[in-house]
A = this chain, B = another copy of it.
Amino acid sequence: MKPVWQIVGERPWLGWLLFLGTVAAVFAVGVLSASLIERKREGRLAFQQSVEIGDLESDSSVWGRNYPREFETWQKTLDGSFESKHMGSRAIDVLALDPRWVVLWAGYAFSRDYNQARGHMHAVEDVRKTLRTGVPQPGTCWSCKSSDVPRVMNEMGVANFYKAKWEELGPKIKNPIGCLDCHDPKTQDLRISRPALVEAFQERGEDIGKARHQEMRSLVCAQCHVEYYFKGEGKYLTFPWKKGFAAEDMEAYYDEVGHTDFVHALSKAPMLKPQHPDWELFQTGIHAQRGLACADCHMPYEVEGGMKFSSHHVVSPLANIGQTCAVCHRESEDTLRQNVYERQDKLREMLSRAQDALVAAHIEAKAAWDAGATEAEMTPALTAIRHAQWRADFVAASGGAAFHAPVESARLVTSSLDKAAEARLLLARILAAHHVTQPVPLPDLSTKEKAQTFIGFDFAAERAKKEEWTKTVLESWGK
């Protein structure tokens, strides 16, 4: 057999044939690829055009006809199997898990009933069920629960929405948190649908319209997963960010405007109740510092039928370590999970110390009042209690605090403990001045029932009232 170069050398036309043949084949592959990409794009466009989505379409299933993958993963937020497996029940009763909270929130609705939040699709169902509603509440409480909110706000005006009665708006609100809350129906761009976040940026002299796409992938979450309060008579939803995003900045803001969420039933301290400063605390941690957005870990990319999309099953990243942590970290799933658990365990221990000190402080303050202490004597101790509980609860209420920002969380809990200790020391001196020199006995807080009995809340009676309300009021709202 002759070598190749000799065969080609003898027939120059064969060299040209090989060359031109290769050019033709590469061209054909290019055309084919472009056609496949185009077809994929057309497939997506075809979906996008199959249904016209209205400007205020609150029914996510309508959007779902164009975006089946996003819709189907969103529907998985009904599924609590991850939470159930890892946290022990579908709806975790925070008060049963740690009855000290009953005492810490005595005099406020959170001491009645407080379950860990479930998936987005449960939002309306859960807010209807809780014992925190049914008692008089403003319309503001609906703000974060439903994709019907933009429509109802549009109908009645934002300020009127907030100051309406919660029960009055009930029949209009049926759809849980869904597509319209974060997306533009025409372009599917991320979009802020709630005025409070836009107004909070304005108040800080910033324009949220200039946010980058990656920032928007957190800011749509920050419409709800933030600290807020109901301002003034109109119960106007307001984020206390004027002085900054740190717990101390918001504390200073509340002190300055003189806001108090509730007066504590035992200590009479003017208390603040943090909501869920998830976004704010996340910003102080290493993952945000490295440029990650909420969606990077809570809505990871998936691939299905050749299409890449962001999962709308918003859940703990630990439910999908392979799609979340493992994108950057090379350790085993088990190692990464243990790293998270270790931070949680250590922070829980720290928080527990602050909680113990705070429970004692409230009870000792009550003893001081009972012993005849005056308001002038009590004020410094009550202010210390206010600040101490704000800081510990800020961390406890912030979802994922121990992972999002373990060092900042630890710093806040330590400052809480310090202020709670200061309060107890002041109270010990007040008590001594009123001839109480023995330690004030602490109650048995081993169960939620015992804790609620201690603060004088009749859970069974309130549950019965709520059932009556469910039958009379709630059923009149329709499905």
**Closest CB-CB distance, A432 to chain B, in whole Å?**
4
Q: How far is the CA of A354 from the CA of B471 in the complex (A)?
A: 55
| From A289, A343, A413, A429, residue with most partner B Cβ within 10 Å | A429
How would you classify the secondary structure of chain A's contact residues: helix, strand, loop or mixed?
A: helix
**Closest CB-CB distance, A350 to chain B, in whole Å?**
4
Contact of A331 among B3, B10, B290, B429 (CB under 8 A): B290
**Closest CB-CB distance, A22 to chain B, in whole Å?**
15
Q: A425-B424, A428-B432 are in contact. Are A349 and B5 (CB under 8 A)?
A: no
A9 at the interface (CB under 8 A from B): yes
A89 at the interface (CB under 8 A from B): no
A356: nearest chain-B partner, CB-CB: B418
A346: nearest chain-B partner, CB-CB: B411
Instruction: Give the total of A residues in contact with B, Cβ under 8 Å.
Output: 42
A353 at the interface (CB under 8 A from B): yes
A406 at the interface (CB under 8 A from B): yes
A417 at the interface (CB under 8 A from B): yes
**Closest CB-CB distance, A67 to chain B, in whole Å?**
35
Residue numbers in B under 8 Å from A357 (CB-CB): 418, 421
Q: How far is the CA of A316 from the CA of B331 in the complex (A)?
A: 27
Q: Is the Cβ of B425 less than 8 Å from the Cβ of A343? A: no
Contact of A410 among B290, B411, B428 (CB under 8 A): B411
Per-position binary interface string of chain A over residues 416-441, scored 1 when its CB falls under 8 Å from any chain B CB and 0 otherwise: 01100100110011001100011100
Contact of A6 among B12, B349, B418, B438 (CB under 8 A): B12
Contact of A9 among B6, B335, B343 (CB under 8 A): B6
A415 at the interface (CB under 8 A from B): yes
Q: How far is the CA of A8 from the CA of B10 in the complex (A)?
A: 11
| From A15, A415, A425, residue with most partner B Cβ within 10 Å | A425
A347 at the interface (CB under 8 A from B): yes
Q: Is the Cβ of B414 less than 8 Å from the Cβ of A410? A: yes
Residue numbers in B under 8 Å from A208 (CB-CB): none
Contact of A15 among B5, B15, B290, B408 (CB under 8 A): B5
A45 at the interface (CB under 8 A from B): no
Q: How far is the CA of A331 from the CA of B350 in the complex (A)?
A: 31
A379 at the interface (CB under 8 A from B): no
A202 at the interface (CB under 8 A from B): no
Q: How far is the CA of A415 from the CA of B290 in the complex (A)?
A: 31
Given A5-B15, A410-B410, A432-B432, output 16 extra A-B contacts at Cβ < 8 Å. A3-B12, A5-B9, A343-B407, A347-B407, A349-B415, A353-B415, A357-B418, A357-B421, A406-B407, A406-B410, A407-B407, A414-B414, A417-B421, A418-B421, A421-B421, A432-B437
Interface positions of A (Cβ within 8 A of B): 3, 5-6, 8-10, 12, 15, 286, 289-290, 331, 335, 339, 342-343, 346-347, 349-350, 353, 357, 406-408, 410-411, 413-415, 417-418, 421, 424-425, 428-429, 432-433, 437-439
